[in-house]
Amino acid sequence: MARHKGRGWHGRLLAAALGVTTLAAAASVWTAQADPVGGRQPQARVSTPDAPPQDRTVAKVAADIAHASDRGAQGVNITIDDGPDPVWTPQVLQLLKDSGTKATFCMVGTQAEAYPDLVKAVVAAGHRLCNHTVSHDTTMDTKSEAYQSQQILDAERMITKASGGVRPQYYRAPGGAFTPYSRQLAASRGMRPLGWNVDSRDFERPGVDTMVATVKREISDGPTVLFHDAGGERSQTVAALREVLPWLRQQGYSFGFPVR
């Protein structure tokens, strides 16, 4: 469920990120690493019981919230939240296959654990995985660091296990409830914090025409578009995607993944 539009809460989070934050609950020692765009990125080296040791195979990623597409100025990132769901995820996957579109699936840990075959199907189709916490708590930003750690790290384990060993490459806070702590923790595990620019509002089921019009009107605001494949009846989402995807291609957009 979306609580804030990406561009609305992004400014608030950037301001909050100016504060000095520690990751004592997740790692006791941090070293600064240069990220690919020249910033400074903390990297966990010595773990506590709250966080597993840093895997040497985990790619270093920035902790700021990503919105851009790896396809550049004409790229679009389709993101699908809250699943997987046994009714709607297969329909979304089929639609994406038919249209030749890749997407990023932000999965809830308990859903991934319940439907591992769907997680594997998402990976097999060439889509990417995103950590959407264990229980989709939209008040994450009001909770303790220990609670945030549990929600993020347990979901990472659930999704990775369900996928057969493929790690989520992004972290999206439920409702946009990021904190500086959660962003840094996710980044230390190789999961780039992921925002959105266009909220289709499909969670509210406003009607297919309204959802399509929202995407057409707001795609100039940025490339990352938010849809859902779980959390309720999603026939409107499927119908809206069926219209939106070819329209975006007609406008000269190509489909990619969020930058990492």
Cα 32–chain centre separation = 25
Host H or E run for residue 151: helix 145-163
Torsion sign (Cα): 61, 119, 257, 15:
negative
Q: What are the tokens at 219?
A: 């795609």
Widest CA span of the chain, in angstroms? 52
Contacts of 30-38 spanning 24+ positions with Cβ under 8 A: 33/60, 35/60, 35/61, 35/62, 36/62, 37/62
CA distance 116 to 171: 19
Pairing of strands 192-193, 170-171: parallel
Catalytic residues: 81, 228
